[in-house]
């Protein structure tokens, strides 16, 4: 199960990197168009992440309900999701302060 999750995470990383590379032509139109393209991508990416996290947490809760995993595993997954979300928010905050 963990190997499947790791493979899916690697694939989603490649998809995100490919999307960023595909967005390069949109950024060539000027600063305003580039800023709006990045803003649209950020909204899409946050929606994608929230959907993925929701599915992951529902899966963990279902596994705990049918007693394939413990509720401690659900709590650990929730902590990992919170840490990952915190890193995303912290990087966005740091970029707004230190970015160009």
d(CA 56, CA 6): 13
Give the per-residue pLDDT at 46: 87
| Residue span of the structural domain in which 11 resides | 2-98
CA 72 vs CA 16, 19, 27, 41, 76: distances in Å: 31, 36, 45, 35, 6
Percent of the chain with pLDDT over 70: 70
- Give me the residues of the chain with pLDDT under 50, please: none
Give the per-residue pLDDT at 79: 95
Give the per-residue pLDDT at 19: 62
- Give the orientation angle of helix 31-65 with respect to helix 2-22, to 10 degrees: 170
Give the per-residue pLDDT at 66: 96
Tokens in use for 62? 């279902």
Q: Are 57 and 77 in contact (CB under 8 A)?
A: yes
CB-based contacts of 4-11 (< 8 A; 24+ apart in sequence): none
Give the per-residue pLDDT at 6: 65
Q: What total number of domains does the chain contain? A: 1
Give the per-residue pLDDT at 33: 81
3 state SS of 67: coil
Give the per-residue pLDDT at 26: 54
């Amino acid at each position: 199960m963990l190997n499947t999750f790791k493979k899916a995470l690697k694939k989603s990383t490649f998809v995100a990197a490919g999307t960023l590379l595909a967005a390069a032509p949109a950024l060539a139109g000027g600063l305003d168009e580039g800023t709006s393209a990045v803003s649209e991508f950020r909204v899409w990416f946050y929606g994608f992440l929230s959907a993925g996290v929701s599915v992951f947490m529902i899966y963990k809760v279902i596994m705990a309900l049918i007693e394939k995993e413990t509720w401690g595993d659900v709590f650990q997954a929730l902590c990992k999701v919170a840490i990952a979300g915190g890193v995303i928010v912290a990087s966005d905050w740091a970029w707004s302060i230190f970015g160009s």
